[in-house]
Amino acid sequence: MKSVHIISFILLVVGGLNWGLVGIGVDDLVTRLLGDGLAQAVFILVGLAAVVEVITHKKSCNACGASGSSAPSAGTV
């Protein structure tokens, strides 16, 4: 499961950076580098990675884990 988390994280970083570039006015870098067909596959994988992270986040995040021992208590900064 750790490898799925790592791959999902990398895909989310790629997607986030790409959208950041689009937001500042740079063309879609993924499509420019990979072409339309392969870029579409990457975007589908980024979407699937987001779904995986939403579903598995609580188990893999130290701050959100079931025990909650490492999460700060309410009112602390």
Whether the per-residue pLDDT at 28 is higher than 80: the answer is: yes
The residues spanned by each domain of the chain are 2-58
User: Which residue type occupies 43?
Assistant: F
pLDDT > 70: percent of the chain: 83
Determine if the pTM surpasses 0.75.
no
Whether the per-residue pLDDT at 30 is higher than 60: the answer is: yes
Positive or negative, the Cα torsion across 56, 10, 26, 35?
Answer: negative
Between CA 59 and CA 44 the distance in angstroms is 24
- Tokens describing residue 1: 């499961």
Is 53:62 a contact under the CB 8 Å cutoff?
Answer: no
Between CA 71 and CA 47 the distance in angstroms is 28
Listed range (2-6, 10-14, 62-66, 73-77) with the worst mean pLDDT: 73-77
